[in-house]
């Protein structure tokens, strides 16, 4: 039986990054990824911020396809609110290459990487965890001191150890398009119940000429039609006339960060812990941020040989203190957003559509920390306070 200090279920960006951090401290670490090819299938629009590169120390070369300066937000009434335009707010990445790079970095740090290996069960035993792993017809058994569940939105580790579930699972669909004629510096966001009930639709230019794009949308549980219905409608947008669908993708986004992310010998991170921004569905930055915290606490735990839930709780406290507030506030904002009718949405977007407010958005807006915009925005447009009661109500669970 193979033995490791740490075993990680899931070779996505978060799983690879957390193991790289631990292996670079000399720990004996393994990642088990069920797919044979890293980074596939892609379930992502690939819009991130510079912080993702700051955390991972990856070079942008070969990974960043385009830089985003601003957004055109289209209201259900057809009006457009344009924000940004002066500085870079987002980076469009080649997600497959990004995952491959983190995998390579983990490999270089000494991580044992197993692709085509699915974790099928896990059991706590005296002072360790035993994992059962399936590779084709073969079954392997592995022992570790700590098991990290970085196995994505449908995490098996989360289920096996009885962790709470995310509050919501958004259904997403998307495609890579060619033959677009877009301003490469701007993304387009479409909101409203007809376009993408419970979330939004997007068009993201993926090259500096604006001739290719990644489009998509997510819907919440209150939608009247299947995803494909909304996707077909998105393709009818005048902006997308004459374009070609090259490749489709889909996926789910877990929302509502878990109130419990550790147990004896077990830690959850990334989508497995629903560490995702509820306002944008972006999970790469918060997942990597939490992975760094997870690696610090796992390392301390190995140094002290303390693997109990009380010790591992340091990780839960760390990530909730640093970024959890932003994610929990995001859920409150989401609750308010999903309660708005299209008429109300139109009204609020109209309120925002004046130069003074747009200047505030441009100064304080931050894709990773949208709550930082709330106070400056309310100071400028006090009438937006009418949104507050819905936000202040606690999100259940």
* 185 to 60, 68, 178, 182: CA distances (angstroms): 17, 5, 17, 8
Listing DSSP states for 49-109 in one string gives -HHHHHHH---STTTEEEEE-EEEEEPTTS-EEEEE-SS--EEEE-HHHHHHHHHHHHHHT
Separation of alpha carbons 354 and 82, rounded Å: 10
CB-based contact 80:346 (threshold 8 Å)? no
Which listed range, 3-11, 69-77, 346-354, 374-382, lies at the site for ligand FAD (CB under 6 A)?
A: 3-11
Q: Which of 5, 6, 7, 11 binds ligand FAD (CB under 6 A)?
A: 11
Rule CB under 6 A: which of 233-252 touch ligand FAD?
Answer: 251-252
Our finding on whether 166 is near ligand FAD (CB under 6 A) is no
Q: How far is the CB of 161 from ligand FAD (least distance, A)?
A: 13
Among 7, 10, 28, 223, binds ligand FAD (CB under 6 A): 10
Residues 103-132 interacting with ligand FAD (rule: CB under 6 A): 118-119
- Cβ nearer to ligand FAD, comparing 35 with 335: 35
Q: Choose the stretch contacting ligand FAD; rule: CB under 6 A; options: 22-30, 193-201, 278-286, 358-366.
A: 278-286
* Three-state DSSP state, 39: coil
Q: Name which of 89, 93, 48 is nearest 366 in CA terms.
A: 89
Buried b (16+ CB within 10 A) or exposed e, 229-268: ebbebbeebebbeebeeeeebbbbbbbbbbeebbbebbbb
156 interacts with ligand FAD by CB under 6 A: yes
14 vs 377 by CB, closer to ligand FAD: 14
Please tell me whether the peptide bond between 41 and the residue prior to it is cis, using omega within 30 degrees of 0: yes
Q: Is 271 in the site for ligand FAD (CB under 6 A)?
A: yes
Q: Does 151 bind ligand FAD (CB under 6 A)?
A: yes
- By the rule CB under 6 A, 160 interacts with ligand FAD: no
Residue selected from 6, 23, 30, 44 as contacting ligand FAD according to rule CB under 6 A? 44
Dihedral of CA 239/241/242/243: which sign? positive
Given the rule CB under 6 A, which of 39-47, 63-71, 135-143, 374-382 is the region that contacts ligand FAD?
Answer: 39-47
**Interacting residue ranges for ligand FAD, rule: CB under 6 A:** 9-15, 32-35, 43-48, 118-119, 150-152, 156, 172, 174, 216, 251-253, 270-271, 276, 281-285, 287
């Amino acid at each position: 039986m193979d033995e490791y200090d740490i075993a990680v279920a899931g070779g996505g960006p978060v799983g690879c990054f957390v193991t790289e951090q631990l292996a670079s401290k000399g720990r004996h670490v393994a990642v088990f990824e069920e797919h044979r090819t890293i980074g596939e299938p892609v379930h992502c629009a690939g819009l991130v911020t510079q912080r993702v590169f700051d955390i991972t120390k990856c070079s942008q070369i070969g990974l960043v396809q385009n830089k985003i300066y601003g957004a055109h937000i289209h209201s259900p009434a057809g009006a457009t609110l344009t924000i940004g335009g002066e500085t870079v707010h987002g980076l469009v990445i080649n997600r497959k290459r990004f995952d491959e790079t983190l995998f390579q970095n983990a490999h270089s740090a000494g991580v044992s990487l197993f692709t085509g290996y699915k974790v099928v069960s896990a059991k706590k035993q005296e002072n360790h965890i035993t994992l059962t792993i399936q590779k084709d017809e073969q079954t392997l058994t592995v022992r570790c001191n700590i098991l990290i569940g970085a196995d994505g939105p449908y995490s098996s580790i989360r289920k096996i150890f009885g962790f709470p579930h995310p509050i919501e699972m958004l259904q997403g669909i998307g495609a890579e398009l060619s033959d677009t004629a877009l301003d490469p510096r701007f993304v387009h966001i479409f909101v409203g119940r007809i376009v993408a009930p419970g979330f939004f639709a997007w068009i993201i230019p993926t090259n500096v000429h604006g001739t290719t794009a990644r489009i998509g949308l997510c819907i919440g549980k209150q939608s009247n039609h299947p995803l494909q219905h909304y996707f077909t409608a998105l393709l009818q947008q005048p902006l997308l006339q004459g374009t070609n669908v090259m490749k489709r993708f889909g996926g789910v986004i877990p929302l509502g960060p878990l109130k419990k992310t550790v147990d004896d010998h077990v830690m959850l991170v990334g989508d497995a812990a629903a560490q995702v921004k509820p306002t944008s569905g972006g999970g790469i930055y918060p997942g990597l941020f939490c992975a760094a915290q997870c690696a610090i606490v796992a390392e301390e735990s190995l140094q002290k040989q303390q693997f109990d839930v009380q010790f591992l709780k340091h990780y839960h406290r760390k990530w909730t203190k640093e970024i959890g507030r932003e994610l929990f506030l995001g859920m409150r904002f989401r609750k308010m957003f999903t309660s708005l009718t299209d008429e109300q949405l139109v009204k609020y977007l109209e309120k925002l559509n004046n130069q003074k407010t747009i200047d505030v958005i441009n100064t304080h807006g931050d894709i990773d920390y949208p709550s930082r915009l709330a106070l400056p925005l309310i100071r400028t447009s006090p009438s937006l306070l009418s949104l507050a009661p819905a936000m202040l109500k606690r999100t259940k669970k």
